[in-house]
């Protein structure tokens, strides 16, 4: 139990050493840590499901889910640990506002894959309907792309109709010939039984109609067969293109397609829209709960001890900076004084050397000229040298 408490304290981003000194603050930070932990857990499930819809490989799903969950957990922990109680509520709100915005964004990102999982059956049904609609649209588009099929089929219908018309004409002539032979009185027959002149005339008309029918059949059926071959070839090409498009449509089942289907469902159904909204609000409440709790809670013993610790560090840093500055000032002063003294000594030494060199040069010159300097000359020279 103690280890669980320490773990939840760690999740809350609190200082464990200070929390042990504040028993009254323990439950608050346990609750904050629990909210942060379960937010990270839900994020792991959400991220894992999102990746599974893309790759459908369980080990990548587990790995990405863990990484995503740890990242969200770390962000939430950072958001909560960065909150400090201040003297004014409005100053706290100003500091907390960016954190609240970030928490809301994280909640929306985390909730979306879980929404897709919750409404999975409805989304699958909508996706199937969209696929059927896309397949029908694809077939219609292919009809536009392959217009030869319709033209050839119409041509075949006309050729068949011509054969039927020739056959009907032949049958009509056969009927007239039979009526003439058997003496049936019609508008086109004499009504006399036997093979007379009219019967022979009808027979010749029947033979001509039969020959014309045979010729039309041979010509038209040859053309129809040729058109059928072309139609079959075009249909095969059309089917290949359709199968390729169908394969692409069947694969349209990823994250974007599901989100689009969910958007359509929420637009069509008020119940789904309300449920979707409540799920988002639930995740927003969970994500922002730690920040809101720290914002609305009173300043407790933990906050006072934390202020004391931070103040002690600030004072210590200030003292160290002051000591370093004083030491630096002393070193600069010593350097300045030493440098001035050294410069003064160097100037005196240089003057002394100049005097000695001048006296030596004068003695050498007098020795060369064989002249001893008088007292007055010496005084003048000396005074001149000085």
Band (pLDDT 50/70/90 cuts) for residue 96 is confident
First to last CA, the chain: 96
Predicted local confidence at residue 318, as pLDDT:
86
| DSSP conformation letters of 48-90 | HHHHHHHH--HHHHHHHHHHHHHHHHHHHHHHHHT----S-HH
Q: How much is the mean pLDDT over the chain?
A: 77
pTM of the full predicted structure? 0.50
Task: Write down the pLDDT at residue 196.
Answer: 65
Q: What is the pLDDT of residue 173?
A: 79
Q: Half-sphere exposure (CA, 13 Å, Cβ side) for 214?
A: 5
Q: Which residue has the higher pLDDT, 355 or 378?
A: 355
Give the pLDDT score at 208.
Answer: 86
pLDDT, position 287: 76
C-alpha–C-alpha distance, residues 303 and 86, integer Å? 9
The tens digit of pLDDT for each residue in 295-350 reads 777 776 767 777 777 788 888 888 889 888 888 888 888 887 787 777 777 777 77
Q: Answer yes or no: is pLDDT of 195 > 70.
A: no
Between 245-254, 268-277, 298-307, the lowest mean confidence (pLDDT) is in: 245-254
Q: What is the mean pLDDT of residues 100-106?
A: 79
- Quick one: which of 265, 159, 290, 285 has its CA closest to 222? 159
- Residue 13 vs residue 245, higher pLDDT: 13
Is the model more confident about 130 or about 369?
A: 130
Residue 57 has pLDDT above 50, yes or no: yes
Share of the chain above pLDDT 70, in %: 78
Q: Per-residue pLDDT for 148 more than 50?
A: yes
Categorize the per-residue pLDDT at 25 as very low, low, confident or very high, splitting at 50, 70 and 90: confident
- pLDDT score of 380: 42
Contact 48, 64 (CB under 8 A): yes
Tell me how far apart the alpha carbons of residues 20 and 178 are, in angstroms, rounded to a whole number.
122
Average pLDDT over residues 151-180: 83
Looking at residue 383, its pLDDT comes to 42
**46 half-sphere exposure, CB direction, 13 A CA radius:** 23
């Amino acid at each position: 139990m103690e280890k669980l408490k320490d773990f939840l304290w760690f999740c809350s981003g609190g200082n464990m050493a200070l929390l042990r000194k504040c028993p009254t603050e323990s439950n608050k930070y346990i609750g904050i840590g629990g909210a942060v932990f379960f937010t990270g857990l839900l994020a792991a499930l959400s991220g894992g499901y999102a990746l599974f819809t893309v790759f459908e490989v369980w080990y990548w799903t587990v790995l990405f889910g863990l990484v995503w969950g740890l990242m969200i957990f770390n962000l939430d922990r950072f958001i909560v640990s960065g909150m400090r109680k201040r003297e004014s509520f409005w100053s706290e709100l100003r500091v907390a506002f960016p954190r609240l915005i970030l928490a809301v964004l994280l909640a929306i990102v985390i909730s979306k894959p879980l929404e897709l999982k919750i409404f999975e059956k409805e989304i699958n049904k909508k996706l199937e309907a969209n696929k059927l609609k896309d397949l029908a649209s694809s077939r219609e588009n292919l009809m536009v792309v392959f217009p030869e099929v319709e033209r050839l089929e119409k041509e075949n219908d006309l050729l068949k109709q011509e054969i039927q018309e020739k056959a009907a004409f032949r049958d009509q002539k056969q009927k007239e010939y039979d009526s003439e032979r058997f003496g049936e009185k019609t508008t086109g027959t004499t009504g006399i039984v036997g093979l007379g002149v009219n019967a022979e005339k009808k027979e010749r008309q029947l033979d001509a109609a039969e020959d014309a029918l045979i010729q039309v059949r041979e010509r038209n059926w040859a053309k129809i067969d040729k058109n059928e071959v072309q139609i079959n070839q075009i249909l095969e090409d059309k089917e290949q293109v359709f199968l390729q498009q169908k394969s692409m449509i069947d694969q349209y089942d990823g994250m974007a397609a599901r989100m689009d289907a969910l958007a359509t469902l929420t637009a069509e159904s008020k119940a789904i829209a309300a449920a979707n909204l409540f799920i988002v609000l639930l995740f927003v409440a969970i994500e922002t709960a730690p920040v809101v709790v720290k914002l609305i809670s009173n300043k407790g013993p933990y906050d006072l001890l934390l202020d004391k610790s931070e103040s002690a560090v600030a004072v210590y840093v200030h003292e160290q900076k002051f000591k370093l500055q004083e030491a630096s000032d002393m070193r600069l002063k010593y350097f300045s004084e030493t440098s001035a003294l050294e410069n003064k000594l160097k100037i005196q030494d240089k003057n002394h050397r100049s005097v000695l060199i001048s006296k030596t040069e004068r003695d050498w010159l007098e020795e060369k000229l064989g002249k001893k300097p008088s007292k007055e000359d010496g005084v003048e020279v000396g005074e001149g040298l000085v």
